[in-house]
Amino acid sequence: MLALTRKTEYALIALTHLAQNVGVVCAAREIAEKFHIPTALLMNVLKTLNQGELVKSVRGAKGGYSLAAKPDDVSLASIIRMIEGPVRFVQCSGEAVASSDEACDLIDLCPIKLPLQRIHARLEQFLQQITLADIVRDATSTCQPTTLTLASAPCKPSGCCRSGVGSHASHEWSPGEAVRSST
């Protein structure tokens, strides 16, 4: 079964929280307590995200983390790769196919190699199209259904959305601002 690891889930939770609180330095302990995440594991995840330049680390008594990249520029695929390594649907797909340790014994005879590689390419393309901004938008919008839609459907003009989320105006992101819809 295809599933994200807990580390990737925690990375997405932390990145979503930071994107919703742009310009604010958030302590790992506060994020962990708010979302009931093991602090030590979250700190390791944030360290990885810092090394990948998705978050900035601020040292000191009032230290913590803040978002370092535009949410529209961060793909779900890049987050998964940063935390888990290359996305691989099956052993004969992805970046590490040539590795002798991980190569499939059936690769030369396999009748489903090509179809599975096509599925892998589509999965990779789909994950590349989803951005952190999409995730944040779906996480904060009260207009969306309870399932994650990842669609850019505009909110109904009933004023049900928080300021800036689900608005129809295009807006450039800059540090110090919350994520806004670009639909």
- Prediction pTM value: 0.72
Domain that holds residue 124: 75-129
Kindly list the distances between the CA atom of residue 62 and the CA atoms of 8, 41, 76, 106, in Å, as whole numbers in the listed order: 26, 21, 29, 55
Q: Model confidence over 136-176: pLDDT tens digits?
A: 998 876 444 444 444 443 333 322 222 333 333 333 444 44
In a domain, 92, yes or no: yes
Kindly list the distances between the CA atom of residue 24 and the CA atoms of 17, 60, 62, 74, in Å, as whole numbers in the listed order: 10, 15, 11, 19
> Which positions ≥6 away from 115 have C-beta within 8 Å?
none
Rounded distance between C-alpha atoms, residue 167 and residue 182, angstroms: 8
Q: Region 117-121: what's the mean pLDDT?
A: 90
Work out how many domains the chain is built from and give that number. 1
In a domain, 109, yes or no: yes
In a domain, 69, yes or no: no
Q: Model confidence over 10-46: pLDDT tens digits?
A: 999 999 999 999 889 999 999 999 999 999 999 999 9
Residues 48 and 82: beta-carbon distance below 8 Å:
yes
